[in-house]
Structures are given as C-alpha cells and as structure tokens.
C-alpha cells in the first residue's frame, strides 16, 4: 500500500526544518518534488534560494509555486515524495498581493488533507516572540498561526524543530 501521509515540520528560523524535511524525503525512492514558494525579491533571497538548490542536489524536480500551491500539489503524480518549503513565504506572497487569505488557506488545507503520496510541508513558528509593533506584522503573525493550526489538524505527523532536533508533537 502506498504511503499517503502528510508530515508537517514547523520551527523557528534556522532550526533545521528544511534540512530535516529533505532527509525525510530522500529516505524514500526518487524522484522527489520540491515545491518552492519563495520569490527572489532581492540579492539576499536569491542567495538563499541558490543555497537550497545546491544542497538538494540530483533527483529533485523543483516546482515554483509562490501563489498557487494547492494547484501545484494537485498537478503532481500520485505516490511521489513532495517537499513544500515553506508555508510562511507562501502566506507572505498572498498578503503582499492582497488576496483572500482565509479562502486561500482553506483551499490549501483541503488539498493537504488528502495527500496522494508522502508529503512533507515546512512552516515557521512565528508566535513565540514578542508582540509585533505594527499592524501588518501582527496580521501576518496571526494569519501564520491560524494557518499552522489548520495544517497541524490535517497532518498525520507534526514535528517541531528545535536546534536541529525533531520533537514529535503529533
């Protein structure tokens, strides 16, 4: 029976989320799909994207989905290991485009509730710091917290990354 599960990997910045998600995916037979949500708005982000690509190496097909993440997931073949990195950048893209966040998040959660293979989804935990000092940052923190809760509910496994170590939450 094929593995049709959703593993949600969440943690703070530089906690080891992406590296751990990649190790989980590459423990399975290739080909692997990497769905990237980042947009290279500046040189620093271009460098981050390049580092991620070079670290992954051979066997990965990269799909850019800065906005239509649900559509990208639906277009993939069954039983393919998939890594989505990351939900918070995807959410940022929708906020900057002034899209319907609730609707987009519901659509994504619906697709993720029906994985057609081993799917690994990375997100940032943004709610453990201080209260942001501006409305946009508070709106983002709140939206990210709600999205992370939605995905945790539909996930088969939730891992919290702390200092490079995965802690099983669900």
Question: Distance (Å, rounded) from C-alpha 105 to C-alpha 149?
Answer: 11
Question: Distance (Å, rounded) from C-alpha 34 to C-alpha 18?
Answer: 11
Q: Is 99 a catalytic residue?
A: no
Residue 4 C-beta-side C-alpha neighbours within 13 Å: 11
The residue annotated as part of the active site, out of 20, 52, 94, 99, is 52
Contact 39, 45 (CB under 8 A): yes
| Helical H segments across 2-85, by residue range | 17-26, 43-56, 69-75
Q: Which residue has the tokens 């559509």?
A: 71
For CA atoms 25, 56, 164, 38, give the dihedral sign. negative
Catalytic residue numbers, as ranges? 52
């Amino acid at each position: 029976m094929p593995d049709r599960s959703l593993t949600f990997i969440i943690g703070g910045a530089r906690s080891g989320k992406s590296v751990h998600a990649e190790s989980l995916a590459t423990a399975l037979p290739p080909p692997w799909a990497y769905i990237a949500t980042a947009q290279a708005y500046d040189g620093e982000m271009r460098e981050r994207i390049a580092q991620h690509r070079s670290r992954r190496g051979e066997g990965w097909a990269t799909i850019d989905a800065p906005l239509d993440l649900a559509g990208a997931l639906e277009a993939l073949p069954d039983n393919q290991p998939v890594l989505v990195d990351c939900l918070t950048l995807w959410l940022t893209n929708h906020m900057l485009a002034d899209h319907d966040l609730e609707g987009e998040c519901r659509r994504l959660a619906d697709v993720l509730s029906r994985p057609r293979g081993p799917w690994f989804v990375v997100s940032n935990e943004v709610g453990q710091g201080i209260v942001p000092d501006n409305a946009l940052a508070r709106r983002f923190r709140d939206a990210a917290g709600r999205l992370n809760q939605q995905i945790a509910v539909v996930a088969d496994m939730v891992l919290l990354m702390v200092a490079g170590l995965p802690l099983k939450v669900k």
